Structure 1
């Protein structure tokens, strides 16, 4: 199992838990707009959080810990630019059953 992480606003995750799937790609952008759900490996998360959520109250954020073996959609590791470090991308909705833990983000 690859441990994937996705940081998001707590209210969006609570809505996803009620519906059964999470369909945001990244802050302010949906899966439908981008085509995949942005994820990180543990060592990548601080940089991603600072870039996308640096102006948010850390108490409003949650880190989803995803079991890659529970995904129903393709998982690809891709760089944001040629030659850059690769990040995991989920090409479809994230089923809430693939999220094996929730962690508070402390910033």
Structure 2
């Protein structure tokens, strides 16, 4: 899938890396998303707030119920696209039907 990705600003905690914003174009079921993220050490997920945060393969991810995602520590747009493609597969069971 082609994702609209916007590099918003440099990461303050990772020199030479950036923050990218994008969206999967569909909503998350927060109950299922939180259940999937429990397998990741240090992941935080709030069903009531509709937001989750975790570290995955060197990226820091902030996922929102709306399907929006902030990917921190990306090198460039290509790195963000790779993250989106991999995450869509990993999180496939967490999207609303």
TM range (shorter): under 0.3
Higher RCO (CA < 8 A, seq sep 6+):
1
TM-score normalised by length of structure 1: 0.25
TM-score normalised by length of structure 2: 0.27
